[in-house]
Amino acid sequence: MAQLVLGLGVSHTPQMSMPSDLWASYARHDRKNPNLIYRRKKWAYEDLVAARAGDGIAERINEETFSALHARAQTAVDSLAASLAEAAPDVVVIVGDDHHEIFAEDSMPTFAVYWGETVRAIPPEKFWFPEVATAAWALYGEQPETYPCHAPLGEHLIRGLNGSGFDVAQVRAQPEGQSIGHTVVLVRNRLMDREAEPLPMVPVLLNTYFEPNRPTPARCWELGKGLAAAIAAYPEELRVAVIASGGLSHFVVDEELDRAVLNAMKDRDEDAIAGFSGEDFVSGTSESMGWLAVGGACAKLDMEIVDYIPAYRTEAGTGCGMAMVRWS
């Protein structure tokens, strides 16, 4: 039977993989962001600066702090990569959001499992901000690459989840010319050995961003439990790692929410998870629901918070709550 041997959670913000001396330049774009959402309200940048003036953020907006936070992130990510290498799984199940890479307006499922034989990563020709180009090696790859997938496990997960009450969509092919998203690509480039062939994978994609059929946080936790049961029922010997990619809070950092999510998973506090509202998991912060799915899958393992880094980049509190977590 298959065995779930490791769980990991890693953020995939460009901020984590670009040089820290570009954080200030990258942050300038936040002043024009019309979707700065914090505590269930959409804010203009200057109003958010005023609202968070008492949060002690301003003194953290400097190159010395940026450099220290960036170094912490690299150390934590390297620790996760070492754990993945040590666990030596036969396949990785990567759980995270889709940014219109596989899903589209004509087909937007809440949950989907990709079970093609391979999946393609295709770097874009241009980037929405120049600073992002310096993180492209991690987010998109430096050249087109084809990743192997484990189609039999993917099919088994689809059948198992549908049999346990999750009407997951199945995806066997990518749209022509379309890359798989950085939810998957970052795992390959930051957690796997880039000099070796990619580990076989099964992408599990969630529609965390786009209304009206986003899942609830509690439903994502239950999906993870269903994934674990399906993995355990796979009829062949297989070592499986499950990895959450994305999150935590962004584009405005919410330390209180991030810590609540991390603590609820660590404590296996299903009452707390049931109390989370989808209204708090919006914009980039919605990617934290992928973590809840992996937390549910790994609920029988012990969770270690390798690091949590509230990576503020402006006085308004914009940035990303970067987290690196291990279940073993």
Mean pLDDT calculated for residue range 212-222: 97
CA distances in angstroms from 210 to 22, 96, 114, listed in the order given: 30, 14, 19
CA 151 to chain centre: 22
pLDDT of residue 127: 87
pLDDT of residue 35: 84
Q: Is the predicted pLDDT of residue 107 greater than 90, yes or no?
A: no
**Residue range 144-165, pLDDT digits in tens:** 999 999 999 999 999 999 999 9
* φ and ψ at residue 20, rounded to 5 degrees: -65, -25
The helix or strand, by DSSP H or E, that contains position 266, with its residue range, turns out to be helix 255-266
pLDDT of residue 247: 96
In the structure, what pLDDT confidence band is assigned to residue 252 with cuts at 50, 70 and 90? very high
In the structure, what pLDDT confidence band is assigned to residue 112 with cuts at 50, 70 and 90? very high
Which residue segments constitute the domains of the chain, with CATH numbers given?
3-327 (3.40.830.10)
Q: Could you tell me where the beta strands, DSSP code E, fall in the chain?
A: 2-10, 36-38, 41-43, 91-97, 111-114, 118-121, 145-148, 169-171, 201-206, 238-245, 303-312, 319-327
Residue 233 to residue 66: CA distance in whole angstroms: 45
Look at the alpha carbons of 24, 28, 29, 30 in this order and tell me if their dihedral is positive or negative.
Answer: positive
What tokens does 221 get? 């936790």
**Residue range 298-317, pLDDT digits in tens:** 999 999 999 999 999 999 99
What average pLDDT is seen over the chain?
97
pLDDT of residue 101: 87
Q: Is the predicted pLDDT of residue 105 greater than 90, yes or no?
A: no
Is 0.95 topped by the overall pTM?
A: yes
In the structure, what pLDDT confidence band is assigned to residue 106 with cuts at 50, 70 and 90? confident
pLDDT of residue 104: 83
Name the nearest CA neighbour of 261 among 223, 221, 227, 298: 221
**Residue range 272-296, pLDDT digits in tens:** 999 999 999 999 999 999 999 999 9
Angle subtended at Cα 17 by Cα 311 and Cα 206, rounded to the nearest 5 degrees: 80
Report the phi/psi class of residue 33: left, alpha or beta, with left for phi > 0 and alpha for psi in -120 to 50.
beta
99-103, 216-220, 271-275: least confidently modelled range: 99-103
Q: At what angle do helices 288-297 and 217-232 cross, to 10 degrees?
A: 40
Report the phi/psi class of residue 280: left, alpha or beta, with left for phi > 0 and alpha for psi in -120 to 50.
alpha
CB 98 within 8 A of CB 207: yes
